[in-house]
Structure 1
Amino acid sequence: MSYAIGIDIGGTKVAIGIVDGEGRVITRESLPTDLSISPEDMVSRIAEAIKRLMAANRLEQEHMLGIGIGAPGPLDPAGGRITCPPNLPNWRDFALVAELKKHLNLSIVMENDATAATLAEHWIGAAKGCANFVYVTISTGIGAGIFMNGKLLTGASGNAGDAGHIVIDPSQGTCVCGQKGCWEWVGSGTAIARKASEILGRPTSTQEAFASADQGHAELKKLIEQVFTYTGMGCVSLINTLDPQMIVIGGGVSQVGEPLFKAVRQYVSTLALNPTGRMTQIVPAALQQDVGLIGAAALVHVPYR
């Protein structure tokens, strides 16, 4: 049996795991993304975690096909560099692949994290067998991966799918990217927590905002309904542009479940431009919290270029 190491780098944590050729996660570990240390030191911690997992499972380097990394964009996959990620400011223009190779003598491939997750959902997830779909992740930020005509579309520089920076509502202020009213700025988990904190006058988590809305807090209920509408708007923009059969939605915010999916389906069925677009399937990600980790490993296991 051959295995791949998957590394999913996020703004708050790094998921690391060993995944077999059927997409099963054999073992995993999670590290906090420590922005108080250098990215070189963070990579050293990641490498140590990989070695721990291999040793604990009696696996040697010859059992590994390679390492796949899902990283936040913008990035330079061909050059193995993270270029200017908004949520990892001290990782700017960081040669991640070269740094990791100092610790592990394995082949390493890197793609945008949402692109990697898209490959996972096509491999063993909700979009298995679907030739045309978009994967949208709504979490700390919002990203997307595009799978069209049976293959991943990564764009000229590997950065296709930054759907979180589609402008949705310019009246809502300036996004971290500099544009006004991006989907990520108004509809991500970070956006929900920010707006809920303003409403309640104290720090409030995304989870608390959803819970308070469910319990009948009028302003928070209005906020959550608006976020659902923004999600529908973003999906319609993707449908009108790309004409997918399906949109798969994952990420922490998607865990609210049916209220989100019902609202988005209703919006899409009413306002997508083409009749076929109005029938686009809107489905939850099958892999949920493991999608990034499995997606990173899929970059090694699954031919996608």
Structure 2
Amino acid sequence: MRKGHNLLAVGDYNQAVILDLIRRASPGLSRVEIAGETGLSAQTVSNVTRRLLKAGLVKEGERLIAGPGKPRTLVELVRTSRYAVGVHLDPTVVTYALLDLAGEVVADHRTPTPSAADPDTVIALMAEEVRALLAREDVARASVLGVGIAAPGPLDSTQGILLDPPLLEGWQHVPLRDALAEATGFPVVLEKDVTAAAVAELWVDSGEDRDNFAFFYYGTGIGIGLVVDHEVLRGASDNAGDMGHLMVQADGPVCACGRRGCVGDLVVPFRLVQRAVSSGILGPTASIDTPLDGPVRHIDFDETDHRFTEFTAAARRGDAAAVAISDDAATHIARALVSVVNLLDIDHVVCGGPFWRRIAPILRERIERLVADDPALIPSHPVTVESSAIGEDVAAVGAGCLVLDQTLSPRPSALLIAG
């Protein structure tokens, strides 16, 4: 728990500390408890609480009787006082999530990604979907703190630009943050999708099992969000987490990067569907005709999504060829995760993303066993592999949480006083 500071220059920081504490406490905290948790004086807590009450962010709840003396009044978060919108841009689907002040999902919605070669059209449709979502839930614009958008990397976080996402044709150097801000009229924050997913997990579950973990993102592509000592790792340019080019099979197929056996090229949904078609598990299709040993030139995302559902259904039924393909994918993913576990000494891997739910019953337990049994695994502690409780919306939820985090969470940088 962050401590507050009794300095005149850090009112906003103390307000964020107290609000964050109240947000995490159910059904609320008394002013005495807030002072005890934060180390702030009773007067500071009283002043900050008064401001929060006036802003409508908190309210006074039930009176708590704890021994002799005056009953204590609990201060509770007003969840519906403010909202944030999260948007996740995936080459296959765009996900929208409306979050209340506590980070709970009020409503969500998904649409197929329109023509990825026309960013202006996609951004305009995003803005319209955001407006429609707020209208359906009867949320006033004035109560919306902003919009967060999670997108595939690489990106320029300072300028808010998508640089060259590998599966979004025509999205090179797109100023997504500013364009969406102009289209919606809201402040917008842009984050890499795998990082946003990790942020979501931290907001939803702040326990010790989220101190050191990796979020394995399984969507149209793959990636990994990283958390060490309860802090999200973003890297020098906020592009950490591109695990797709970890080599896991020395004699594997040639990746677009020119090397062989890159994990991303082996396990993404398109490649599994392609193998299923080649093995006769699925019927032939003209749109999935890329050679197995060669870079992917074009993906029909709608067709891949549909055929992936058919493939995972076959694997769950026990089709031998489908199970073999799934086992190979589990082996490749586990090898990549062992490298990550060895590098960062993490003890949890959380899996999620738009395609994960369909294949999780086949892969999750097998990946966990393969990681545990890998002779290359260095840490002696158990490594838990679990599915995200948030579900397919995880990156959109994380994008919305980023808005809440930037607006409401305590930041030590607020303590710096210009001299």
Fold shared per TM-score above 0.5: yes
Letter of the 1:286 counterpart: A
Letter of the 2:160 counterpart: G
Taking structure 1 as reference, are residues 140 and 128 closer, same or farther at Cα in structure 2, changes over 3 Å only? farther
Match of 1:294 in 2: 397
From 228, 234, 238, the counterpart of 2:330:
228
Judge conservation of contact 1:138–1:253 (CA < 8 Å) in 2: yes
From 178, 186, 189, the counterpart of 1:106:
186
How does 1:272-287 map onto structure 2 within 5 Å? 272-277=376-381, 279-287=382-390
From 208, 215, 225, the counterpart of 1:145:
225
Match of 2:25 in 1: none
Taking structure 1 as reference, are residues 27 and 211 closer, same or farther at Cα in structure 2, changes over 3 Å only? closer
How does 1:85-164 map onto structure 2 within 5 Å? 85-125=165-205, 130-164=210-244
Match of 2:345 in 1: 243
User: For structure 1, which runs of at least 5 residues remain unmatched after alignment?
Assistant: none
Taking structure 1 as reference, are residues 274 and 172 closer, same or farther at Cα in structure 2, changes over 3 Å only? closer
Taking structure 1 as reference, are residues 177 and 296 closer, same or farther at Cα in structure 2, changes over 3 Å only? farther
Taking structure 1 as reference, are residues 31 and 165 closer, same or farther at Cα in structure 2, changes over 3 Å only? same
From 107, 122, 137, the counterpart of 1:57:
137
Taking structure 1 as reference, are residues 139 and 56 closer, same or farther at Cα in structure 2, changes over 3 Å only? closer
Letter of the 1:296 counterpart: A
From 67, 72, 95, the counterpart of 1:15:
95
Match of 1:195 in 2: 275
Q: Secondary structure at the match of 1:175?
A: coil
Provide Cα deviations, 1:52-102, integer angstroms capped at 9, x if missing partner.
Answer: 222233323221111111001111122100011111011111010111122
Letter of the 2:104 counterpart: R
Q: Structure 1 residues 168-177 or 9-18, which shifts more? A: 168-177
Letter of the 2:137 counterpart: N
Judge conservation of contact 2:97–2:105 (CA < 8 Å) in 1: yes
Which structure would you say has the larger RCO, counting Cα contacts within 8 Å and 6 or more residues apart? 1
Partners of 1:54 and 1:210 in 2: CA distance: 35
How does 1:41-52 map onto structure 2 within 5 Å? 41-52=121-132
Q: Secondary structure at the match of 1:165?
A: coil
Partners of 2:122 and 2:147 in 1: CA distance: 16
Judge conservation of contact 1:188–1:253 (CA < 8 Å) in 2: no
Query: Percent identity of the aligned residues?
Result: 31
Partners of 1:69 and 1:177 in 2: CA distance: 27
Provide Cα deviations, 1:233-261, integer angstroms capped at 9, x if missing partner.
Answer: 11111111111121111132354334422
Q: Secondary structure at the match of 1:257?
A: helix
Q: Secondary structure at the match of 2:251?
A: helix
Taking structure 1 as reference, are residues 44 and 259 closer, same or farther at Cα in structure 2, changes over 3 Å only? closer
Taking structure 1 as reference, are residues 105 and 214 closer, same or farther at Cα in structure 2, changes over 3 Å only? closer
Provide Cα deviations, 1:107-147, integer angstroms capped at 9, x if missing partner.
Answer: 21111011101110111149776211110012321111001
Judge conservation of contact 1:254–1:260 (CA < 8 Å) in 2: no
Judge conservation of contact 1:85–1:91 (CA < 8 Å) in 2: yes
Letter of the 2:315 counterpart: A
Partners of 1:19 and 1:128 in 2: CA distance: 24
TM-score w.r.t. length of structure 1: 0.92
Letter of the 1:74 counterpart: P
Q: Secondary structure at the match of 2:191?
A: strand
Letter of the 1:242 counterpart: L
Judge conservation of contact 1:73–1:85 (CA < 8 Å) in 2: yes
Q: Deviation of residue 177 (structure 1)?
A: 4.4
Partners of 2:195 and 2:318 in 1: CA distance: 37
Q: Deviation of residue 8 (structure 1)?
A: 0.5
Match of 2:73 in 1: none
Taking structure 1 as reference, are residues 125 and 287 closer, same or farther at Cα in structure 2, changes over 3 Å only? farther
Q: Deviation of residue 207 (structure 1)?
A: 2.5
Match of 1:165 in 2: 245
Match of 1:83 in 2: 163
Taking structure 1 as reference, are residues 75 and 170 closer, same or farther at Cα in structure 2, changes over 3 Å only? farther
Partners of 1:229 and 1:275 in 2: CA distance: 19
Taking structure 1 as reference, are residues 116 and 275 closer, same or farther at Cα in structure 2, changes over 3 Å only? closer
Judge conservation of contact 1:131–1:150 (CA < 8 Å) in 2: yes
How does 1:257-272 map onto structure 2 within 5 Å? 257-271=360-374, 272=376
User: For structure 2, which runs of at least 5 residues remain unmatched after alignment?
Assistant: 1-80, 286-303, 412-419
Partners of 1:126 and 1:151 in 2: CA distance: 11
Q: Structure 1 residues 19-28 or 172-181, which shifts more? A: 172-181
Judge conservation of contact 2:345–2:379 (CA < 8 Å) in 1: no
Judge conservation of contact 1:122–1:129 (CA < 8 Å) in 2: no
Q: Structure 1 residues 126-135 or 38-47, which shifts more? A: 126-135
Taking structure 1 as reference, are residues 23 and 68 closer, same or farther at Cα in structure 2, changes over 3 Å only? same
Q: Secondary structure at the match of 1:276?
A: coil
